[in-house]
Homo-oligomer: A and B are copies of this chain.
Amino acid sequence: MAAPGVVAAPAFAQWMGQVQSGMEEVLNRFLPSASVVPARLHEAMRYTAMDGGKRVRPLLVYAAGELFDTPRALLERAAAAVEMIHVYSLVHDDMPCMDDDALRRGKPTVHIRYDEATALLVGDALQAQAFDTLAAPLESEAGSADAGLPARQLRMVKLLAEAAGSVGMCGGQAIDLASVGMTLSLAELEQMHRLKTGALLRAAVLLGALGGKALTAAESAALDDYARAIGLAFQVVDDILDATADSATLGKTAGKDAADNKPTYVSILGLAESQALAGRLQADAHEALAPFGGKARRLRELADLIVQRKT
């Protein structure tokens, strides 16, 4: 039992559930209503953005926010923005000219449920909505004067734009496309994933942190080490799951990478060594958080979740 006056922190699963269900409310607030013209576009944006998913990036935003006392109103916007970027990338990635996938999060993908042109526009509009959400004026919401807030928001916009663009996520996708059927070295595979998924996971951690008090160089470097380790671990585990789980469990088409002749950690390292690598990256993530002590509890638990997840 907790000591008097001390509120026990909720267990991880409870905290995670709160963030995940909270994200439905937050996204509902920051996405245009499906009754606003053009209604079909807005309905399709909501169809793809608002049905769960693990919300790993929002979880990272909130967890990092706990370290630096980032205002809640700003965390909500950062979490929604990074998730919108992630969702748009999935919509475009599933299109016939990219991965041509019919199933995502257990539902028909946007170009299947609607049509290709709508999928293209849903992705484009979600990216714009992400920056719209992050750049909104916040003074009144925060309830108190905070003269440094616009400058912090502007840094967050810049960070997210870099992570989403051609030297981040889009660049990783381009390398991924170019690598189909090729033999990549482990270093090349790592560079691809550092951009394709790592950049946005890193952005999620840093967005949560940047919204609060100024980071020291050491804090910034420690967060970067953490983000790099979980970003890579995320992809290694994705490859392991793609090779070992079934489509019903994953909510997307399993075994697709092998079928598409894409290089993966499992195809290069084998299953056992991939699992060992994931474990080492989990340990690296924990080590990077050591300077933050108990306040980094959620970031630690998220590193464990990323490595131990089954979907």
Contacts and interface: CB of A to CB of B under 8 A. Distances in A.
Interface of A: 32, 36-38, 40-42, 45, 88-89, 92, 95, 97-98, 115-118, 120-121, 123-125, 127-129, 131-132, 135-137, 150-151, 153-155, 157-158, 160-162, 164-168, 170-171, 173-175, 177-178, 191
Contacts of A115: 97
B120 A167 contact: no
B174 A118 contact: yes
- Majority-rule SS of A interface residues: helix
B166 A117 contact: no
A289 B297 CA distance: 59
Given A88-B124, A121-B177, 11 more contacts: A38-B166, A40-B174, A45-B166, A95-B97, A97-B120, A98-B120, A120-B120, A125-B171, A128-B166, A137-B155, A137-B158
A162 B120 contact: no
Contacts of A161: 128-129, 131-132, 135
Contacts of A135: 154-155, 157-158, 161
A202 B16 CA distance: 42
4 closest pairs, A vs B, by CB? A128-B165, A97-B116, A132-B161, A125-B166
A311 B231 CA distance: 49
Q: Count the copies.
A: 2
22 contacts: A32-B167, A37-B175, A38-B175, A40-B174, A40-B178, A41-B166, A88-B124, A89-B124, A92-B120, A92-B124, A95-B120, A97-B117, A98-B120, A121-B170, A125-B165, A131-B157, A131-B160, A132-B165, A135-B154, A136-B158, A154-B154, A157-B157
A120 B111 CA distance: 14
A191 to B, nearest CB: 8
A125 to B, nearest CB: 4
Contact of A150 (B42, B45, B154, B162): B154
Contacts of A123: 124
Contacts of A97: 95, 115-117, 120
Contacts of A45: 166
Nearest to A98: B117
Contacts of A95: 97, 120
A160 B125 CA distance: 12
A128 to B, nearest CB: 3
A174 B118 CA distance: 7
Contacts of A120: 92, 95, 97-98, 120
